[in-house]
Chains A and B, each alone.
Chain A
Amino acid sequence: MKSLILLLATVTLLPAIELISLPGQSPIINFRFVFRCGSLNDPKGKEGAAALTAALLARGGSRSTPYSGIIEKFYPMAASVDDQTDQEMLTITGVTHVDNLEAYYSTLRDMLLDPGWRPEDLKRLRDDQLTSLRVALRQQNDEELGKEVLYNVLLGTAHPNGTVSALEKLTLADLQAFYRQHLTQANLTIALAGNYPAGFADRVKKDFSRLPAGRPSAVKRPALRPLTQTRVTIVKKQTRAVAYSLGFPIAVTRAHPDFPALLLANTWFGPHRSSTGNLYQRMREIRGLNYGDYSYLEYFPRGMFQFEPDPNLARRQQIFQLWIRPVEPPTAHFALRLALHELDRLVEKGLTESDFEETRAFLARNVNLLLKTKANELGYRIDSQFYGIGEYPAYIRSAIAKLTVDDVNRAIKRHLRKDRLEIVAVAQDAEALQKALLSDAPSPMTYNSPKLADIVEEDKLVSTRKLGLQPAQVRIVPVDRFFE
């Protein structure tokens, strides 16, 4: 009896690669290999190992072929391999035309199953990853900087690309260890779409069964430190304007029953890069404070470069976040007050019946656009698997069809709040901003054109809004301290 139980236990523990196969007519063949591991699995002091491992697989040589040889093979096919590493997912994607499927796949397979681990690839890709932190993030994109600092201070997690000091020390042995431990069958989902021959998907799955069986890598997320009061971090660096990101952790992910209701609320309040959102209308359209203002329920990096989120950034812990694009320094105090004022109104008043109906009609159709490419369709399916929900657009459509405006407003009250915020500002004259925020002095707005009476009235209210911050709540941190 005992041996039987043991046997059963062993059987259930056998790892299995998940396979998603979407054969179709398109000559474009998409590959997606998603491993459920990521920067949360980076060992302490080796932050950046997951991302650098992914980079070496996707942008380095295989044992038989150096990277220059791989480029040589892929070039006439215009084929590519890309990588994306987040906290809980490590993704390798590939695309080729069906004409070249065999030659492409055999190379891709060797890259992932039999990597070259060459020192010259490590040097090049480590340099790239260091540049992404030291130059691109700290110096040349204040908006992404603000967002990543917000995640860093709220969740206590490193950037998915790691830290400068750890990256500088990472060795090939560190990456090989990460590869062996985490890039396993237990963690892998393979997804394919396109006009590939019958039996191809099973062949890919069989080939990847050469990976170690492994065990699921999911680790406990670091415990959240409760936010007992609002905190402001002013990142000091040389720049023209002031960029803000602010928010707080939420208990909702796509797995949560309130997700569709909050998604609807957020689609009304601050949809990404859309002029329809309330926040955008109040801050940019009416007042011209900046280029745009949006809000988020999920991690959405690189938002300034794209209109739709990338799939396979699934996380068990998300934050609710406002992104206020750079404002002129003299209006920075007012802009923050206005953003908080709008957040207040969202939390207190919620949506009206007509806001709700209009947004629901929009969302029911717009959600289909997310899956306009097969690559995205594969990615969304894998994310749905992660969260344990159905196919994404169908799930959202059917869930919002059942909602009422009261459901949405209840979800807002339950999960969103107007106090105990983490606020990140990126500014050059950090001291002046700190002083202004602590003073709570009025920050009246003047415009280059007359405003309607209700806006003038609202501005009076907003410009004297008290933040009530104490000196210990507003700190200035030089930019070089982050991601170091």
Chain B
Amino acid sequence: MRTLLTLLLAAGAYAAPPSKIFPYGYDLYDLPNGLRLLTIPTDFPNIVSLYTVVSVGSRHEVEPGKSGFAHFFEHCMFRGTKRFPPQKWEAVMKAAGAATNAYTSDDLTVYHATFDKSGLESILDLEADRFQNLEYSESAFRTEALAVNGEYNKNSSEPAQQLIEKLRATAFDRHTYRHTTMGFLADIKDMPNQFAYSKQFFDRFYRPENVTLVLAGDLDPKQVRTMVEKYWGPWKKGAVAPQIPVEPPQTAERKAHVPWPTPTLPWMMIGYKVPAFAENMRDAAALDLIASLALGRNSPLYKKLLLEDQTNDVLQGGYENHADPFLFLVYARLKKETDLPAVQDAIISTLNGFKDNLVDAQRLEAVKSNLRYSFALGLDNSEAIAANLAGFIALTRTPETLNQVYDLYASLTPEDLRAVARKYFVASGRTIVTLTHQKEAK
């Protein structure tokens, strides 16, 4: 109790010192089985958000034919246990007025529920049960695979999905980032036949060492600890480390094209190989700043392409935090196919410019200010606080990472950015994919 109070007070009892970007105090607690609990009391009344962050994603899909499985498994987690079959699970959630869902990405799977605080204990019990005792029939499993196929279908009219799929397959030879979280269609079609594998997947990866519970809202951390120990304490550790193939260095620029069968605006996506987040947080922070300077709404390139020349209606991108080396991405959507070469040149020469020139100090300050205020404006409810943390938690399991990243932003100089640009904006690390409307030959 004493340590708990001290920690809360040290963190400023919900009002952190101004140097820290994350303004809330929190209680971070590790259970003996490796499960980590992060409780963030907020001043938003009555509501609680529970984000169960599993540091497992499509990155873990190492076996051939298993692309998309982490996401499919997320669906399976809703297929019940002996104690709480799906309908009973729904009934407990309903009694608390809960809004629930889940999502999967390259490095994480997140199960979330936002509910009336009166439902806290019953929901912690319910969730602990499915993470420990999941049990579904082969028949339910096969039916769920069809829903995933339905999810693929609903996304299939959107060309950006195909563009990113092609970019990954082109930029990566071995690493599992080669495929999207949704997975290849052939693997999705085969999912109904993977019942045995799904049990293995659960057994290997759904273990307390891979999971952090993030609770934000109208909460008493001491009470939360007691409940979590009671329901999640018995969970057995035993996570297996996945053997994720190491991507060999890229040695030359790569290109690919997607012909799209229905009318669309032309798209271009450019990726540069960059390091993993935790491996080089300083470079990651520098790349975030460069992304804002190069592609942000007040950047010269954005103004030229979207406001002056009006060749584009989309320009965005940046560094995405990943567990392993991924890509610095630029997405551009154009109005005319004939502008593709000029826009490509403009993007590449803008990024190359960071290697030759020091950025203007005032512009750098504007970007740093933008990042701090963007973050602050995003914390407008308990669910948003938990959701904002989930990505960092999956990679480092502590909210301090967030403070570290913003401290890094503050410390980086124009010289630092130039050095980082020189390291990563090289043609041999680059992949370019385009997508245009092309009627199929009859």
Chain A positions within 8 Å of B, measured between CB atoms, are 25-28, 67-68, 71-72, 75-79, 95-97, 99-100, 120, 123-124, 127-128, 131, 134-135, 138-143, 237-241, 243, 273-276, 284-292, 304, 307-308, 325-328, 358-359, 361-369, 372-375, 447-451
Contacts and interface: CB of A to CB of B under 8 A. Distances in A.
A191 to B, nearest CB: 15
Contacts of A243: 154
A68 B299 CA distance: 10
Contacts of A447: 142-143
Contacts of B307: 67-68, 120, 124
B373 interface: yes
Contact of B298 (A72, A142, A273): A72
B157 A239 contact: yes
9 contacts: A25-B43, A27-B376, A76-B369, A139-B262, A241-B156, A273-B101, A291-B147, A328-B153, A362-B95
Given A72-B298, A78-B373, A78-B374, 4 more contacts: A77-B369, A274-B99, A328-B149, A369-B97
A99 B370 CA distance: 13
Given A76-B370, A128-B313, A372-B44, A28 B158 contact: no
Contacts of A237: 262
Nearest to B151: A291
Contact of B146 (A143, A288, A368): A288
Contact of A361 (B95, B139, B308, B374): B95
A276 B87 CA distance: 8
B4 interface: no
A61 to B, nearest CB: 10
Given A358-B91, A361-B94, A95 B150 contact: no
Contacts of A368: 46-47, 97, 116
A91 B382 CA distance: 26
Contact of A289 (B140, B150, B366, B372): B150
B144 interface: yes
B335 A127 contact: yes
Interface in B78-130: 78, 86, 90-91, 93-101, 114-116, 118-119
Interface string B374-412: 101100111110000000000000000000000000000
B71 to A, nearest CB: 12
Interface string B37-76: 0000001101100000000000000000000000000000
Contact of A28 (B96, B335, B377): B377
Contacts of A131: 265, 313
A285 to B, nearest CB: 7
A134 B384 CA distance: 34
Given A364-B97, A448-B145, A291 B154 contact: yes
B147 A358 contact: no
Contact of A449 (B118, B143, B263): B143
A140 B159 CA distance: 7
Given A368-B47, A450-B139, A290 B377 contact: no
Contact of A275 (B90, B119, B306): B90
Given A366-B99, A368-B97, A285 B373 contact: no
A49 to B, nearest CB: 21
A326 B154 contact: yes
Nearest to B158: A140
B46 A241 contact: no
B138 interface: yes
B262 A238 contact: yes
B271 interface: no
A368 B47 CA distance: 9
A325 B154 CA distance: 7
A26 B380 CA distance: 8
Contacts of A276: 90, 93-94
B382 A372 contact: yes
